[in-house]
Structure 1
Amino acid sequence: MINNRYDFIMLFDVENGNPNGDPDAGNTPRIDAESGYGYITDVCLKRKIRNYVELVKEGEKGYRILIKADRALNSKFDEAYEAENLKKGQKGKNTDDVNKAREYMCKNYFDVRAFGAVMSTGDNPCGIVRGPVQINFSRSISPINIQDVTITRQARTTGDRMETGSTEMGKKSIIPYALYRAEGYVSAALANKVTDLSEGDLELLWTAIINMFEEDHSAARGKMCMRKLIVFKHDNVLGNCPSHILFDKIKVKEVSAPPRCFSDYSITIDADLPSGVELIEKI
């Protein structure tokens, strides 16, 4: 059970990399065409959180990950019916069975408890869970500059291509530097009413956010670092004020252009918080 509502802000950066490629634009970094600001999807960030949790909790009961590329989701829903000895093949006609299956999924899968899931497919559906943890798209503090870097590929794939030479040219799309801001929410009301997200789960979430880039390094993504995790803790379940009021307390401004490192930005925090709200700097 969680007794407090939370709102939080993440500040993270990328150096010489592509933090989240857009498949509709040749996998180049995502960019708002009108403003030039970069953005990263919530799905991308939650994927990294899931991967970290699975890494540190591998094999531990209650911390399985539902959304991952291992096998069909419907087969996992079938397992819930088998584990709870429910009648299979009713396609959700028995509401009590669906509710029991949903409870099983929340109990055994961390990402269902945290982010929710649509589990209403197949012959043995487990319902729909609205997750207490939600993360918005992140946006860069400054407009981004996408650079296409030409590279030389030493290994060619076919004999026919080898006949024209042992090397060929390729391309990588990178951002020299960008600082991103993402905002998120933890609803204690939903956690207690729907998924039973616990205080232990919440501490694991903070740890995963802080470390999610540390276990996700790749040449394509370049150097990515979580710079700040600022949490607003309300003293009750429903909260003491709207989240946007708290988010406005954190100002990030560019102080050197073009920005090429974290120190090229200034961060100011307005400590005049509404009554009943505590600011916690996790990093």
Structure 2
Amino acid sequence: MSEVIKNRYEFVVLFDVENGNPNGDPDAGNMPRIDPESGLGLVTDVCIKRKIRNYIETVKEEEKGYKIYIKEDAPLNRSDREACKELGVEESDDKKVTEALKKLKKNDPNVDLKLRDYMCENFYDIRTFGAVMTTFVKAALNCGQVRGPVQIGFARSIDPIISQEVTITRVAITTEKDAENKSTEMGRKCIVPYGLYRVEGYISANLARKVTGFSEDDLELLWDAIINMFENDHSAARGKMAVRELIVFKHSKELGDCPAYKLFDAVEVSKKEDVEYPRKYQDYKVCVHEETIPDSVEVKRMI
């Protein structure tokens, strides 16, 4: 494992969707998420982190130090027990595990740090995003909540989006009884004809050093995951999605050189003057006003 990062970072990601649903809203019949007041499209931070986790899992395939804590069909307490076994707690029942951890805490006041360090060393997403580990919270251990150095906000579209409902038909009938009366079945899907989204993120070198040990290698893997997060995640429902820009701001020191908002404000995304209804990335112009950024902050356009 390489050295823990020593510089603070902020970053801006631009990604687009064409004829797809980037993030369905369960409260609205799985239609694309929309800010009801502005009409701007939304994609949750949870959705974006899921793409990053999936990419890491695909690339690393359970390699030591790069397991994924939050994933499909994997109860969280199963992963928690891995750390417990390292400390000699072999119980399989949750209540007994909790009791054993409480007893262990009385004999070893550093058990919290040992558990936290094990989880951070072995699970990439805990080392990156942090986690709430329920098994340890129930045992009243301070390591139950880990605040990760990488934090990502909601993505918001540059312009208002239109959520279009498309009716589809299927020639395969569900039951033989239905087949006596009809030859097709109806369905629907919701799409966004086109939308360009912007998401902003933060990386704290201070938290990396004090808490999770997020390293330079982890950082390079994160950039790779962000750039490629849609490349192995294509589906008919999501249409065509791609990351178009990854703009990274690297500070010269651990606590940073200027407020994050000044760096985010330096990235201007707007429609070209002759475009009324954008339908492709080339309908936009992206400008980074580097003259407003302190000289001590390095700007990198990774794509």
The TM tier, using the shorter chain, reads over 0.9
Describe the SS at the equivalent of 1:213.
Answer: coil
Report if the CA contact (8 A) 2:206-2:255 is conserved: yes
Superposition CA RMSD, Å? 1.5
1:271-282 to 2 correspondence within 5 Å?
Answer: 271-272=290-291, 273-282=293-302
**CA deviation after TM superposition for structure 1 residue 81, in Å:** 0.7
- What is the match of residue 85 of structure 1? 88
CA distance in 1, matches of 2:260, 2:89: 41
- Given candidates 279, 283, 289, the residue that maps to 1:260 is 279
Q: Which amino acid aligns with 1:119?
A: M
CA distance in 2, matches of 1:32, 1:263: 25
- What is the match of residue 201 of structure 1? 218
- The share of aligned pairs that are identical, in percent, is 59
- What is the match of residue 66 of structure 1? 69
- What is the match of residue 206 of structure 2? 189
1:1-283 to 2 correspondence within 5 Å?
Answer: 1-86=4-89, 88-90=97-99, 93=102, 94=105, 96-121=110-135, 127-255=144-272, 256-272=275-291, 273-283=293-303
**CA deviation after TM superposition for structure 1 residue 163, in Å:** 2.9
CA distance in 2, matches of 1:46, 1:246: 22
Report if the CA contact (8 A) 1:92-1:98 is conserved: no
CA distance in 1, matches of 2:178, 2:36: 37
**CA deviation after TM superposition for structure 1 residue 8, in Å:** 0.1
TM-score, length-scaled by structure 2: 0.90
**CA deviation after TM superposition for structure 1 residue 254, in Å:** 1.3
Q: Which amino acid aligns with 1:89?
A: T
**CA deviation after TM superposition for structure 1 residue 86, in Å:** 4.5
CA distance in 1, matches of 2:161, 2:98: 51
CA distance in 1, matches of 2:271, 2:164: 20
Quick check: which one's helix share is greater?
2
Describe the SS at the equivalent of 1:69.
Answer: coil
**CA deviation after TM superposition for structure 1 residue 89, in Å:** 3.2
TM-score, length-scaled by structure 1: 0.96
CA distance in 2, matches of 1:91, 1:229: 46
* Residue correspondences, number: 283
Q: Which amino acid aligns with 1:138?
A: A
Q: Structure 1 residues 254-263 or 118-127, which shifts more?
A: 118-127
Report if the CA contact (8 A) 2:57-2:68 is conserved: yes
**CA deviation after TM superposition for structure 1 residue 91, in Å:** 6.8
With over 3 angstroms needed to count, the CA separation of the structure-2 counterparts of 1:97 and 1:164, relative to structure 1, is farther
